[in-house]
Amino acid sequence: MPTTSDYAVLTRVGPGTPMGRLMREYWIPACLSSELKADGPPLRLMLLGEKLLAIRDSAGRVGVFDHRCPHRGASLFFGRNEENGLRCVYHGWKFDVEGNCLDMPNVKPRHAFPHRIKAKTYKTVERAGVVWAYMGERAEAPPFPALEPLLLPDAQVTSRWAQRHCNWLQALEGDIDTSHFGFLHEGKARAEDYPADSVLHYRLMDRAPDYHCSDTGWGTMYAAYRPADPGNLYYRVAHYLFPFWTMIPNTSFAGNISMRGWVPIDDTHTMFLQFFWQDPAASQPLRGPQVPGLSINFDYLPNTSDWHGRWRLRQNEQNDYGLDRDRQRDLTFSGIEGVHLQDQAVTESMGEIIDHGIEHLTIGDLMITRTRQRMLQAMRALEEKGASPPGATQADIFLGARGGDFVAPDSRTWLEAYADQIRGSANPSGALRVPALAAE
Ligand code: FES
Ligand SMILES: [Fe+2]
């Protein structure tokens, strides 16, 4: 069994750490493409504990730099982004988006050696309206992951961002912890207010579901299940996908092309981002009253140029997330408004990095336990044998993954029911396929 200190290793992602090394095997989402304007100011960006800058040059190319100038370490944040390069304001050295030194104007040409100087930069690509960086050591960047929402035309995919003040792992684990839904988010809702053949009714009738859980090529998956109408089961399926993605049952499986990322800014701050397919036909009409407190509210503080200044929410730990005790008594379980904020409050309340030693895990935490073990195995295989972690080089391994809820005959196994759902679902990218999966 993994120990508490094994789990602690999973939470550290800075340069040279085992988990940091694993994450650097993948493309990392860095910022929105729209955050970078040609010749605009450098954007302070922290990723995996590294202080970086992003710019878009005059020709529209994106550069992600170590923020320190390779001359004497002044921050290039203060630099001038102009004429296809970033010029340090200290002594005027200038770099292109690949880090090549173009100019060394504070010394006479006979003393200058720009061809021998390189600013540290990372390779970038832009996909789905987002700038991605490859921060690893391979000469060739890995293939871009074939994650379903990223295979659609950019115009059909939207992303939403929000910073969270805690470690990436405890934030991610909220997505694969299904039993909290019936309490934190829906604890005051009553089954009898919803039609007896609706998924909400099934969910509220049984708040302690049973579970299947399995390793997959891309990570792990679970199905939480409980009775539906006679002869059927109601399933909620979610995935963990390496290194920090989830696909959750936020709506019905058939049209739920979405995924969520928990990108470490550093060990104690995480950038949440969600990609989702904008298909109006995919949303299910609600049968019965709206569950109070479940609004989707992303009310941001103004972004600042601080390392932790982007996509912060107005309701936060300083104001108890807008907790309203009257509403908690009368209307909602938590008294906090909005699914995302409710999750934010509980995961941040664990502290910046949870002390795993105080946990008491149950069957309801099966997916969390299994996912930690899967991460540890991949981390050790990389450390000890140099084994490429899941999906890092085999980009299409992700194509069998989608999250969602559905009702299926109890005569089918959970994996058969999952395969049936994939065959019968919208597949606008044409790439989703039935994966080869082994039962738990
Ligand atoms: S420190 Fe940047 S040019 Fe000298
Ligand atoms: Fe939640």
Question: What does the pLDDT look like over 102-129, one tens digit per residue?
Answer: 999 999 999 999 999 999 999 999 999 9
Q: CB 266: neighbour CB atoms within 10 A?
A: 20
Which-ligand-closest: CA of 94? 1
Pocket (CB within 6 angstroms of ligand 1): 69, 71-72, 74, 88, 90-93
Which-ligand-closest: CA of 71? 1
Identify the pLDDT of residue 6: 87
| Closest ligand 1 atom number to CA of residue 74 | 1
CA–centroid distance, residue 347 to ligand 2 (Å): 10
Question: What does the pLDDT look like over 167-176, one tens digit per residue?
Answer: 999 999 999 9
Question: What does the pLDDT look like over 202-235, one tens digit per residue?
Answer: 999 999 999 999 999 999 999 999 999 999 999 9
Paired tokens of 338: 């909005």
Question: What does the pLDDT look like over 361-418, one tens digit per residue?
Answer: 999 999 999 999 999 999 999 999 999 999 999 999 999 999 999 999 999 999 999 9
Percent of the residues in the chain that have a pLDDT greater than 70, as a whole number: 98
Identify the pLDDT of residue 96: 98
Per the prediction, the chain carries an average pLDDT of 95
Instruction: Return all residues near 3 (Cβ < 8 A) that are at least 6 apart.
Output: none
Give the side-chain half-sphere CA count within 13 A for 23.
Answer: 30
Cross-strand partners of 247: 239
More confident residue, 307 or 283: 307
CA–centroid distance, residue 164 to ligand 2 (Å): 14
Residue nearest to atom 1 of ligand 1 (CA): 72
Question: What does the pLDDT look like over 44-56, one tens digit per residue?
Answer: 999 999 999 999 9
Query: Measured between alpha carbons, how far is 396 from 198 in angstroms, rounded to an integer?
Result: 35
User: Do 367 and 213 touch, CB atoms closer than 8 A?
Assistant: yes
CA–centroid distance, residue 346 to ligand 2 (Å): 9
CA–centroid distance, residue 70 to ligand 1 (Å): 7
Identify the pLDDT of residue 241: 98
Mutate to test the pocket of ligand 1, among 53, 65, 76, 88 (most ligand atoms within 8 A of CB): 88
User: φ, ψ for residue 205 (rounded to 5)?
Assistant: -70, -30
Which-ligand-closest: CA of 272? 2
